[in-house]
Amino acid sequence: MTFRKGIYIVPTNRWYIERTVWLIAGLVLIAGTGLAALVDPRWVLMIVAVGLVSVNVSLTGFCPIGNALRLFGFTPMLGRPGPTPGNLYFMQTDRWYLERRIYLAVGINISIASVLVLAHSPWWLLFTGFVGVAMVWFAATGFCIMANGLYWLGAEPRLAPLSKAGCGAAGAASREIPARG
């Protein structure tokens, strides 16, 4: 991997499946965190569910929420091209691109933090709440702390910046803001 400079921002010109999934997952994390903190710690199982689905999406490409959104007319930017079994939505899994790595890292981190909430300390809910807020921010603005960290370390995004690949998946492009200096 080669180190990069600049800021990586995913497309926010429309609500595609993956962006909407990030928003829904973030809202579920915030709700689960709040309920676990204020009502009953077992609500942390909501967070575990989001984590396990996220890991599943990164490994298999199958996203139950993405399929529901597809029924409502949303279109994918990271979906597999061509027909899929049962005409279902599957995220591309041909290589470990940046966005796929985010699904895996988020899923593992929030699942571990959820177990730590029950086994160690409720203060771990601060982490899951932070991740939830970061996912909502990511969906709203296209900017993600983890995506930029992976981008700077050289992970290749599937939603490629205009300046490098011409256009990203499904003809849309993300923005890359060059570093100064």
Tokens at residue 134, please? 């970061």
Mean pLDDT of 24-41: 96
Determine the Cα angle at 127 with ends 121 and 130, to 5°.
150
Residue 34, pLDDT above cutoff 70: yes
Mean pLDDT of 21-45: 96
User: Above pLDDT 70, what percent of the chain?
Assistant: 87
Residue 165, pLDDT above cutoff 60: no
Q: Which residue has the tokens 């290589």?
A: 95
Confidence category of residue 163, pLDDT binned at 50, 70, 90: very low
Phi and psi torsions of 2, nearest 5°: -105, 140
Beta carbons of 53 and 65 less than 8 angstroms apart = yes
Residue 61 CA to residue 77 CA, distance in Å, equals: 13
Mean pLDDT of 20-25: 96
Q: How many helices and strands, by DSSP H and E, does the chain display? A: 7, 2
* Structure confidence by residue, pLDDT tens digits, 113-132: 999 999 999 999 999 999 99
Residue 7, pLDDT above cutoff 50: yes
Residue 11, pLDDT above cutoff 50: yes
Query: Nearest CA to 5 among 175, 149, 162, 166?
Result: 149
Residue 168, pLDDT above cutoff 50: no
Q: What is the number of residues in the chain?
A: 181
* 9 strand-pairing partners: 143, 175
Which residues, in sequence order, are CB contacts of 18 under 8 Å at separation 6+?
66, 76, 77, 78, 91, 99
Q: What is the pLDDT at residue 1?
A: 59
Burial class (CB in 10 A: 0-12, 13-18, 19+), 144: buried
Residue 181, pLDDT above cutoff 90: no
